[in-house]
Amino acid sequence: MTTSGTPSLSPVQHGGNLHNAIARYGIPRADWLDISTGISPFPWPVPIVPSDVWQRLPEQDGALEQAARQYYGTDALAVPGSQWAIQQLPALFSRRRGATRVWLPQECYEEYRYWWQFHGHVLQHYAALPTQEQLQERDIVIVLNPNNPSAHYHAVTELQALAQRLQPLDGFLILDEAFMDATPTQSLLPHINADTNVILLRSLGKFFGLAGIRTGFVCGNRKVQEELRRVLGPWAISHPAQWIAIQALQDESWQHAMRQLLPAQSQRLANLLARHFPADCISATPLFVTVSLTPESLTHWQDQLARHGIWTRCFMQWGKLRFGLADDAGLARLEQALERCAADE
Ligand SMILES: Cc1ncc(COP(=O)(O)O)c(C=O)c1O
C-alpha cells in the first residue's frame, strides 16, 4: 500500500528566493548579487522570439528530441524540467511495484526526499554508495553526479558497478546529471543503452542558464521513458521553450566556449573563497562552490554577505554555504564584501 499526500511533509526551500532576502534586508532587487543558485550567470543568448513562435502550440514533430539525441548521443524524452521527472518517477514506481525501498544521499537536492516520501516509499539514506550486501530485490538507488550541494563526483566505473549490482535484483539506478554538462567525460551517458536499468536526468537549467524555459530530459531505460511519455500530455513544453531549446542544444561553439569559461570562473571563485575559509572545507563543480562550516559561521557569513547585498544559499541542516558563479564584476564585489566581513569579525 502506498500513501500519497503525507500531511506532515512541508514544501522544500530553495535558492533563488531573492524576495525573502529583499524583505529581510530591505535592499532593492536591483542592488543584489544573487549567487544563491547553481544556474549559470552566462546563459545561452536567447534571440528575440518571433511572434508566430509565441502563438503556436507545442510541435509534436520530434525536432526537439532529435536535437537532444544529437547533443546527448542517445534517445532522450523531453520533459518540463528535470524536476517534473523527479516528481513523476516515485508515482511511476508506485504504479509498477507499490512501496519500494529507495536509497538517497544523506545530503542532496531535497525534492527527492519530498516526492519519494510523498508517494509512501521507504527511504534509506546513505553516505557511501550501497554495497552488494546492502542491496535487496527491487531497490532503487538515487545518485546525483555531481551532487548538489556537496559537489561530490562519482567515477563512471563506480556507477557502472552499482548499476550492475542492481541488475540481477531488478533494481534501478536513478542518476541526476543536472550539473554534468561542463564535464561530459564524467557522464554515464555514453555507457548506457535503452535496455539499461539506469534512468538518467539532464537539465537545460544549469549549464545553459535556461531554468526559465523549464526543459529537461530523461535518458536511459526505454520502458520508463515510454511510461513517462504517456503521462506527459501533448502541451508539456511550450513552443517558445522548444524553439529556444533546439537552438541551444545545437550551438556547439557556444557549448565549447562554456566548457572553458565555467571551470575557469569556478576556479576563480574557489581561489577567492580559499583566502577566507580552509581549503579542505571547499568543494567545487564548474557551476557552484560549496563551503562546509560550523552552524555559527554559516549563519554569520550568510548574514554578513547579505548585508552587503550578496545572496548565497545556506544549508543549515548540512553545515554548508553554496556560492553560485558570478561574472568578473560580481567576483570583485564578493571579494570586497568578504574582506569587509572578515575585518568586522
Ligand atoms: C540536482 C538537481 N536536479 C534537478 C533539479 C531540477 O532542475 P530543472 O527542473 O530546472 O531541470 C535541480 C534544481 O535545482 C537540482 O539542483
pLDDT for 3 equals 41
- What domain range includes position 216? 51-251
Distance in Å, CA 40 to ligand 1 centroid: 13
**Among the three residues 188, 218, 251, which one is the final residue of a domain in this structure?**
251
The CB of 151 under 6 Å from ligand 1? The reply is: no
- Centre of ligand 1 to C-alpha 22, Å, is 24
Residue 180 in any domain: the answer is yes
Looking at the structure, tell me whether residues 218 and 270 fall in a common domain: no
The finding on whether 109 has its CB within 6 A of some atom of ligand 1 is yes
285 CB within 6 A, ligand 1: no
User: Is the C-beta atom of 175 inside 6 A of ligand 1?
Assistant: no
Instruction: Indicate if 231 and 259 belong to the same structural domain.
Output: no
Segments of the chain with pLDDT less than 70 = 1-7, 345
Q: What is the pTM of this model?
A: 0.96
> Quick one: pLDDT at residue 343?
79
Q: State which H helix or E strand residue 125 sits in.
A: strand 122-126
Task: Note the pLDDT of residue 256.
Answer: 98
DSSP state of 235: T
15 lines ligand 1 (CB under 6 A): no
Distances (CA, A) of 209 to 12, 19, 75, 213: 22, 20, 23, 10
Q: Which of 234, 251, 268 is the last residue of a domain?
A: 251
Residues 6+ apart with CB under 8 A from 78: 64, 65, 68, 215, 216, 217, 236, 237, 242, 245
Residue ranges with strand state E in 163-315: 172-176, 198-203, 216-220, 282-285, 288-292, 310-311, 313-315
Instruction: Note the pLDDT tens digit of each residue in 302-319.
Output: 999 999 999 999 999 999
Residue that finishes a domain, picked among 233, 251, 269: 251
The atom of ligand 1 lying closest to the CA of 206 is 10
For the CA of 144, the closest atom of ligand 1 is: 1
Over the stretch 219-236, which tens digit does the pLDDT of each residue have?
999 999 999 999 999 999
In this structure, are residues 337 and 305 in contact, taking their beta carbons and an 8 Å threshold? yes
Q: What CATH number did the domain enclosing 103 receive?
A: 3.40.640.10
What's the CA-to-centroid distance between 178 and ligand 1, angstroms? 6
Q: What is the pLDDT of residues 6-50, one digit of tens each?
A: 657 888 888 879 999 999 999 999 999 999 999 999 999 999 999
Distance from Cα 339 to the centre of ligand 1, integer Å: 32
Q: Is residue 324 part of a domain?
A: yes
The reply to whether 13 falls in a domain is no
pLDDT of residue 2: 38
Domain identity same for 94 and 111: yes
Q: How far is the CA of 81 from the centre of ligand 1 (A)?
A: 7
Same domain, 67 and 151: yes
pLDDT at 6: 62
Distance 342 CA to ligand 1 centre (A): 33
Nearest to 39 by CA among 316, 311, 319: 311
Considering the domain architecture, whether residues 193 and 100 belong to the same structural domain is answered as yes
